[in-house]
Amino acid sequence: MGFATASSGPRRQAVVVNELERRFGSFVAVNRISLEVAEGEIFGFLGPNGAGKSTTIRMLCGILAPTGGGGAVAGYDLRTQPEEIKAHIGYMSQRFSLYEDLTVEENINFYSGIYRIPPEKKKGRKQWVIEMAGLEQHRHSRTGILSGGWKQRLALGCAILHEPPILFLVEPTSGEAWVAGYHIVKEAEAIKEHIGYMSQRFGLYPDLTVLENIHFYADIYGVPRKGRDDKIARLLAFSNLTPFQKRLAGDLSGGMKQKLGLACALIHTPRVLFLDEPTSGVDPVSRRELWRILNGLLREKVTIFVSTAYLDEAERFHRLALIHKGELLACGTPDEVKGLMRATILEIRSAEPRRVARTLRTEFPAETVGLFGDRVHLVTEDAEKATARAEAILGGAGIEQVSIRPIEPGLEDVFISVLAKERDERHA
């Protein structure tokens, strides 16, 4: 596919983070994270909703300002070379933020004020955005009633309202960082003149075809016209979308939309690819196909940084980090992370697994009991004592024909164990 390749010898570090922190007032969303990701490896960032995965990735992409720490992506410093980083990464995220109680025109007016567009230019820029996005018919419509595609168009229009040369946004607080050469605290207004950002859910336009969507993002990323068609043809073949290139994006399945989103994120040949929960809501077959494509990128020396709540995907990663409440709990290869667990996993089999889990949670700490399909896992420091206690509890509840045995832990077990340990330390 022609992606950038590394020189021979030891693999370089594609992502280096040192004491990265993000606070929202007194709330710590990301707490002094340090990690490294080598060129050409899959790095998984795992944790439940609200753990700090997306916040960390947005900082690494330059979307959200850190309140402490620093690092480098693709060899470029987060603090002094954000423009170079932007040219070497792809970012596929989840949602976008608009004010749904405001009309289309009111949203544009709001962002005009944020970007401090001069009054004499405001009317012309607003009309340009409305015409560019085809929003004239929805000009006075409340944003909340628009379809996802129209919202994406409006979000993009608001992001480029002030004609930024770079399409990303850094926040909209404290700490030390620079964007496009400007200090994020001392020169915040100057930054707004040089950046743009389309946030949240990756924007595909349902009324454009697969091919038109890819060309649209090629224009956004400034991909030269010379050689573009060959690159797009390779991406379509790589993602198995060639037969569907003339199909409207809105008519694609969820899995095919994800592959199209990935193709759009790769159109400018990034060296580092950030994927924010790319398989969320995708069926198992499509998830497997997406991972086949991602594994193919490794042969092109593309570094992949993934956040996911699906711990079963963790075995695919070269290295991973577990994060909870903004704190990095563990970091290493899957085997290394599993090795951190000192407790024993008891597997409990029963014809009533849900009832077993519900019953055990009334007597054992809830975070030590997990339901895994038709089986229940119980994390314990004393296997013999816990087995006897579990048998007594289940027998007393009238649950019979139960099998209990120790097994090798999986990553979900490790995560449950770490959370239990954290709870005990907090209570102590």
Q: Which of 106-110, 187-191, 359-363 has the lowest mean pLDDT?
A: 187-191
Average pLDDT of span 356-383: 86
Average pLDDT of span 243-264: 85
Domain map (residue ranges) of the chain: 13-94+193-333, 341-427
What digits encode the pLDDT tens for the residues 269-311? 777 777 777 776 667 777 788 788 778 878 878 777 788 777 7
Percent of the chain with pLDDT over 90: 11
Using DSSP's 3-state secondary structure scheme, residue 219 falls into helix
Q: Which residues contact 49 (CB under 8 A, 6 or more apart)?
A: 309
pLDDT at res. 246 = 93
Average pLDDT of span 71-85: 78
> Please, where are the H alpha helices in 307-352?
334-339
What pLDDT band is residue 245 in, cutting at 50, 70 and 90? very high
Between CA 210 and CA 265 the distance in angstroms is 13
Least Cα distance to 155 among 123, 121, 201 occurs for: 201
What pLDDT band is residue 242 in, cutting at 50, 70 and 90? very high
Higher-confidence residue: 192 or 140? 140
What pLDDT band is residue 142 in, cutting at 50, 70 and 90? confident
pLDDT at res. 184 = 57
* Residue that the structure tokens 């992506």 belong to: 73
Whether the predicted pLDDT of 385 surpasses 90: yes
Q: Which of 181-195, 202-216, 351-365, 398-412 has the lowest mean pLDDT?
A: 181-195
Q: Which two tokens stand for residue 25?
A: 């007032």
Least Cα distance to 48 among 419, 373, 332, 354 occurs for: 419
CATH 3.40.50.300 at 13-94+193-333, yes or no: yes
Whether the predicted pLDDT of 409 surpasses 60: yes
Q: Which of 77-91, 207-221, 391-405 has the lowest mean pLDDT?
A: 77-91
- The half-sphere exposure of 16 on its side-chain side, counting CA atoms within 13 A, is 9
Q: Which of 52-61, 163-172, 174-183, 221-230 has the lowest mean pLDDT?
A: 163-172
Between CA 27 and CA 53 the distance in angstroms is 15
Question: If you classify domain 341-427 with CATH, what class do you get?
Answer: alpha beta
Whether the predicted pLDDT of 196 surpasses 80: no
For residue 405, the tally of other CB atoms under 10 A from its CB is 11
Whether the predicted pLDDT of 67 surpasses 70: yes
Strand (E) positions, 39-156?
42-46, 68-73, 76-77, 89-92
pLDDT at res. 10 = 59
Between CA 231 and CA 235 the distance in angstroms is 6
